[in-house]
Structure 1
C-alpha cells in the first residue's frame, strides 16, 4: 500500500511540475520562433542592402508593386475590406517576387519592450506567431494616403504581445522595418472601438499612418484598442 502511495505521490509531483513548466515551454518556443523569423528577414534584408550598393535597387519590382498596391487601395476606397476574412487572406504575396517568406517586416516599440515579426495576413495561424498585417490595408512602406494596420493578440500562451500598447503615450515611437528601410512613426491618438466598426482602420486622406490593434479589455476582449501613429518625415 505504501508503495502505491509513493508511486501516486511521484506521479502527482511530475504532473505538478509539468503543469507549471508548460507555460514556460510555450513562451520559450514562441520566442525562439519569433527570433528565427526575424533573423531570416534580416538575412533577406542584408542581401538586398548589399545589392543596393550596386546600380539597381534590390527587389525594385516588389517595391514598385507595394506602392502601386497602396495607391490602388486608396483609390478603390478599400472596397475589399468587408469582413474578418478580408483581414486574413492577403491578395499580395511575396512569393510572386521571389521571396519565400510570409514575413513583411518587423515592428519594434522600445517604450513597451516589443519586438515582433509582421506576418502577411491576420490569419489565426499568423496571429499565433507574432504581429500580423491586416490584409486590405496599406502595405508597410509608408507614403501619403496610407494606413498600415498591424494586429496582435493582447496575450497568447503567456506571451504579452500587444498587451502593453495601452501604456503608449502621445509621441512614443514605433519602428517598422521593411525590406529597404526603417520607418519611424509617432503615436498621435488612441481609441477603443467595437470590433465590427472597420471605419476606424480605413485610410485617412493626406496622412501616412500605422495603426496597432489588439483585443480589449483583457481578458474579456469584447472591444478593440487602437493606437494611431503618424510617419515622421
Structure 2
C-alpha cells in the first residue's frame, strides 16, 4: 500500500516536472517572439553601422587614390565607392537636367523608387550614395538612391526624380524614412527638429551641412510641395504623420549653410514686408511643429508604454511559473 502510494507520488512529481519544463519552454518562446523587434533593432543597427563604416572607408581610400593620381581617376573597383570627378559631375548634371525640364519625370509614386543613375558602373552595387547625420535626433543613417520598400527597411532613401545632395543651386534632395522600423528610430523623432537646427550629408566627395528653414505638414499627393525651388540648394526630410499612421506627411525643409545670400539694407528681403513675411513663415512652421508634437506625443508614449507593460507582464508570468509550479522542500 505504501509502495503504491510512493509510486503514485513519484509519477505525480514526474508529471509536475514535465509541466514545468513545458511551461518554461512556452514562456521562453513567447518572450522570444515578443522581443523580436528589439533583437531586430540590434541586428539592423549593426548592419547600418557596418554600411556607414564601409562607405566612409571607401571615400577615404578614394581620396588617397586621387591624391596620388597614378591611375585613371574614373576607375573603380567592384567593392569601392569612388570619389572621382565623373560620378560627382554626373550627379550635378542630373540636378541641372531635372530642373531645366521641370522635374517632368516626377509623375507618380513609381518614379520615386527608380535609381535615376546607373551607380553600378562606379562600383556601387547596393545603391548607397551617402550618410545622413542628424545630431538633434541622435540619428545616423545610410542614404540610398530610390525609395523602394527594401531600401527603406535599411535606412533613409533619396526619392527618384529629385536632386542629388551635392553642391550647386536649383536643387532639392528629398529624403524619406520610416517613422521607426523594427526598433530603429529612423525619423520617429523628427519633431525634435526646429528652425536653425543643422544636419549633414556625406556624399562620395564631401560633407555638406544644411540648416532647417521651414516645417510643414502636407498630404501624400502634394508633390508640388517637394519640388525644386529656384536659386536654392535644399534637402527636404519627409516621413509619415501622425506616428504609426499614413494619412499625411511631416516635411522639414533645409538649406545648405552658406548658400543663401545674407540680408542687407539694400535687398528687398530686408524690407519691412520681407521681414514680416519671414517672421510669419517661422511662426507657421513653429505652429505646425507644436501641433504635430501634441498629436504624436500621445501615440509615441502609448507605444512605449505598451512595450514596457509587455515586458513587465512577461516578467510577472515568469515569477508565477517559478513560485507556483516548482516544488519547495517541506520542513
- State the TM-score, normalizing by the size of structure 1: 0.95
**Which residue matches 2:30?**
16
Point out where structure 1 has 5 or more consecutive residues left out of the alignment: none
- 1:87 CA drift (Å): 0.4
Other-structure match for 2:127: 102
- 2:147 aligned with 1:122, yes or no? yes
Larger Rg: 2
Per the TM alignment, residue 3 of structure 1 is displaced from its structure 2 partner at its CA by 4.2
Give the gaps of 5 or more residues in structure 2: 1-14, 75-82, 259-331
Q: Equivalences for 1:132-171 in 2 at 5 Å?
A: 132-171=157-196
Q: Which moved more, 1:193-202 or 1:57-66?
A: 57-66
Larger relative contact order (Cα-Cα within 8 Å, sequence gap ≥ 6): 1
Task: Answer yes or no: is 1:211 the counterpart of 2:236.
Answer: yes
Among 58, 65, 68, the alignment partner of 1:51 is 65
SS in 2 for 1:53: helix
The structural deviation recorded for 1:4 is 4.6
Q: Cα 1:31–1:85, aligned 2, differ >3 Å: closer, same or farther?
A: same
Higher strand share: 1
The DSSP-based 3-state class of the residue aligned with 1:163 is coil
TM-superposed CA distance for 1:96, in Å, is 2.4
Which of 41, 58, 83 does residue 55 from structure 2 map onto?
A: 41
| Cα distance between partner residues in 1 of 2:115 and 2:163 | 11
Matched with 1:173 is 198
Question: Partners in 1 of 2:251 and 2:121 — Cα distance?
Answer: 31
Paired residue for 2:251?
226
Tell me the number of residue pairs that the alignment of Structure 1 and Structure 2 aligns: 233
Q: CA RMSD in A?
A: 1.5
Q: Tell me the CA shift for residue 84 of structure 1.
A: 1.0
* CA pair 23-98 structure 1, distance change in 2 beyond 3 A: closer
